[in-house]
Amino acid sequence: MAWHGSEQISVTGAGTLVHVAIATWQWPHVFSADAKEHGIRLGTSRWRRPAPDTAPVRAKAAFLYNICTMARDAADQAGFDDALLLDYHGHVAEATGANLFLVSGGELHTPTADCFLAGITRQTVLDLARDIGIPAVERHILPRNSAASTSASSPARPTRSSPSGPSTHTSSRWARRPSP
């Protein structure tokens, strides 16, 4: 973690030092055994990924995770395993802590990373798919188009990717929007 300015309380970081801290801990699986076995249930969040001209959307920044926290809390309260975040245009973006991948017509599809972090896990999944001859398509996906896929996968841990395909244990059952 890196941050500016423990030296003063202010909105500005001018005249402050950059601080860095590194912490490690055991990261348990974020979903129940049933969800791992039968797939996670996603509820579409009312919270959206911001436009690139309103926030540094390609940064791994704490304030962007606040959106995920609010979305996940609402999803939990509504009985879902996680929340599906849309972007500022209403396209599918990601889950609260994972990228989304859809299988359709023998191709792997994932949302265009124009308003969320195109992280290491996402790029690894795309590279692995291409390495084994699976076409990987990055595109804008409308929520109604995601239901037509034959499988969906959400690599649910930042440290490793879950398998993708028709028999995946992380395939998503798309669901209605949870109430706020």
Q: Please write down the HEC assignment for all residues of 128-168.
A: HHHHCCCCEEEECCCHHHHCCCCEEECCCECCECCCCCCCC
Is 60 catalytic? The answer is yes
* Cα-Cα-Cα-Cα dihedral sign, residues 86, 94, 140, 35: negative
Q: What tokens appear for 104 in the block?
A: 């359709």
Active-site residue (options: 29, 38, 60, 89): 60
Please state the φ and ψ torsions of residue 56, each to the nearest 5 degrees: -75, 80
Instruction: Please list the active-site residues.
Output: 60
